[in-house]
Amino acid sequence: MNLENIGWNSFFNNSFAPYSQQGYIAGRIAAEHKHIYRVYIEQGELLAAVSGKMRYEASGRRDFPAVGDWVVLNPTGEGKATIQAVLPRQSKFSRQTAGTTVEEQVIAANIDTVFLVAALNNDFNLRRLERYLTLAWESGANPVIILSKADLCNDINQKVLAIENIAPGVPVHVTSSQSGTGITELASHLRKGRTAALLGSSGAGKSTLINHLCGREAQKTAEIRQSDDRGRHTTTYRELIILPGGGLIIDTPGMRELQLWGTCEGLQSFADISLLASQCRFKDCRHEGEPGCAVKAALENGRLDYDRYGNYRKLQKELAYLSRKENRQEYLAEKERWKKIHKQIKNLKKR
């Protein structure tokens, strides 16, 4: 297996150079199964687990390998290895972990393109797509919107126009896995050595799309519920799949709701609102009734949609709250790290 065909480049080569001198090999995480990782290497594949040292030094989930990561491996024989380190990431798509703990979960790493899949049926939701776009821009990869199930929609042009209004400049592809419409156009984003991550809610048609791109049934599919056009989870874990045309794609389980992770920079998908805000009379305008407010004027004359603005404010507040919580978590983690260091020093002095 040529590593360059699965995404290896000079960036990773330079990061790996010190490890290469120690006799380690490089590999790319293809899948994770309960802390056991399937890894692509030059000789094929092997199974690997994180070393005890790496596990001890990890400060959270983001320090562990994610699908798409390049890792440093120490082969132990019989198709197995130990993961010594994760190489620096060029990009990553992250979300906040479920629950009350503020922690980053890396969904996919080292991706060039994020395919955001939205079905053109009753589950079509612009506000959800805005949330996905926010995280996509934050990832460092380029978003591409795929509208699936075109055969189930009677107003395709209206929905495409609605998406172009909230995502100007983002490529939009209308597809139908039933007829094969639009599938071949995706090839331009899947050149040899390029990686795309496929994201969308359950029932959006991600697994069916992958089967078309692979030319075989690589993933299981399931029928959507007739009552609300929502689907059931068929993909149960993230996986890096090598496509016949040379590109790679990371399939992910359906995520109906994404907890944000990142900074307000990801809100560049709301550039129209930022532009309006820059035209307000006062630089610190809160858009809550101040005179000369361009945002309020745009809402009143219909240039700005109330629902879109409401979603923007909601996402803005989420990110601000997350930033405050994360800073507190980092402080506590650093405090705990120094406690461990002082404890180790104390134990050494006793010897």
Domain match, 241 and 274 both: no
Binding annotation: 148-151, 200-208, 280, 285, 287, 293
Domain match, 99 and 243 both: yes
Q: Is residue 344 part of a domain?
A: no
Structure confidence at residue 154 (pLDDT): 87
Of 53, 86, 119, the one marking the end of a domain is: 86
340 pLDDT band (50/70/90 cuts)? low
222 pLDDT band (50/70/90 cuts)? very low
Asked if the model's pLDDT at residue 254 lies above 70, the reply is no
333 pLDDT band (50/70/90 cuts)? low
For residue 172, the domain's CATH number is 3.40.50.300
Left if phi > 0, otherwise alpha if psi is -120 to 50, otherwise beta: which for 122? alpha
Q: CA neighbours within 13 Å on the CB side: how many for 1?
A: 18
Asked if the model's pLDDT at residue 261 lies above 60, the reply is no
Q: Is residue 257 part of a domain?
A: no
Q: Which residue has the higher pLDDT, 344 or 161?
A: 161
Domain match, 77 and 102 both: no
Domain match, 101 and 188 both: yes
What mean pLDDT is predicted for residues 269-281?
86
Binding annotation for GTP: 148-151, 200-208
Domain match, 103 and 80 both: no
Tokens of residue 252, six digits: 């992910």
Of 226, 251, 276, the one marking the end of a domain is: 251
Domain match, 231 and 311 both: no
Q: Which residue has the higher pLDDT, 212 or 338?
A: 212
194 pLDDT band (50/70/90 cuts)? very high
Contact call for residues 132 and 256 (beta carbons, < 8 A): no
Asked if the model's pLDDT at residue 234 lies above 60, the reply is no
Say which residue the tokens 């990801």 belong to.
266
Average pLDDT value over all residues in the chain = 82
For residue 54, the domain's CATH number is 2.40.50.140
Asked if the model's pLDDT at residue 263 lies above 60, the reply is no
pLDDT per residue as tens digits for the range 59-105: 888 899 999 999 999 999 999 999 999 999 999 887 766 555 666 78
Q: Which residue has the higher pLDDT, 222 or 15?
A: 15
Say which residue the tokens 């790493």 belong to.
109
Binding annotation for Zn(2+): 280, 285, 287, 293
Q: Is residue 198 part of a domain?
A: yes
128 pLDDT band (50/70/90 cuts)? confident
Q: Is residue 159 part of a domain?
A: yes
Distance (Å, whole) CA 310 – CA 208: 34
Asked if the model's pLDDT at residue 323 lies above 70, the reply is no
Q: Is residue 209 part of a domain?
A: yes
Domain match, 78 and 101 both: no
Q: Is residue 346 part of a domain?
A: no
Tokens of residue 226, six digits: 């007739």
Q: Is residue 349 part of a domain?
A: no
C-alpha dihedral sign at 310, 314, 315, 317? positive
Q: Is residue 302 part of a domain?
A: yes
Domain match, 32 and 76 both: yes
What mean pLDDT is predicted for residues 31-58?
92
What mean pLDDT is predicted for residues 93-122?
80
Distance (Å, whole) CA 293 – CA 130: 24
Asked if the model's pLDDT at residue 217 lies above 60, the reply is no
Domain match, 11 and 61 both: yes
Distance (Å, whole) CA 234 – CA 236: 6
Of 86, 114, 145, the one marking the end of a domain is: 86
Helix H, strand E, coil C: the string for the chain is CCHHHHCCCHHHHHHHHHHHCCCCEEEEEEEEECCEEEEEECCEEEEEEECHHHHHHCCCHHHCCCCCCEEEEEEEECCEEEEEEECCCCCEEEEECCCCCCCEEEEEECCCEEEEEEECCCCCCHHHHHHHHHHHHHHCCEEEEEEECHHHCCCHHHHHHHHHHHCCCCCEEECECCCCECCHHHHHHCCCCCEEEEECCCCCCHHHHHHHHHCCCCCCCCCCCCCCCCCCCCCCCCEEEECCCCCEEEECCCCCCCCCCCCHHHHHHHHHHHHHHCCCCCCCCCCCCCCCCHHHHHHHCCCCCHHHHHHHHHHHHHHHHHHHHHHHHHHHHHHHHHHHHHHHHHHHHHC
Contact call for residues 174 and 117 (beta carbons, < 8 A): no
**What is the domain count for the chain?**
3
Range of the domain at 151: 92-251
Structure confidence at residue 110 (pLDDT): 96
Domain match, 287 and 323 both: yes
Give me Rg for the CA atoms of the chain: 23
For residue 302, the domain's CATH number is 1.10.40.50
Domain match, 108 and 213 both: yes
Query: Out of 58-67, 225-234, 297-306, which region has the weakest mean confidence (pLDDT)?
Result: 225-234
pTM of the shown model? 0.74
Any idea how long the chain is? Answer: 351
Domain match, 155 and 122 both: yes
Helices 126-139 & 306-350, crossing angle to 10 degrees? Answer: 40
pLDDT per residue as tens digits for the range 171-181: 999 998 788 88
Q: Do the strands 92-96 and 248-251 form a parallel or antiparallel pair, or are they unpaired?
A: unpaired
Query: Out of 149-158, 302-311, 327-336, which region has the weakest mean confidence (pLDDT)?
Result: 327-336
Structure confidence at residue 321 (pLDDT): 61
Contact call for residues 344 and 350 (beta carbons, < 8 A): no
Which of 22-26, 103-107, 331-335 is predicted most confidently? 22-26
Asked if the model's pLDDT at residue 39 lies above 50, the reply is yes
Structure confidence at residue 167 (pLDDT): 87
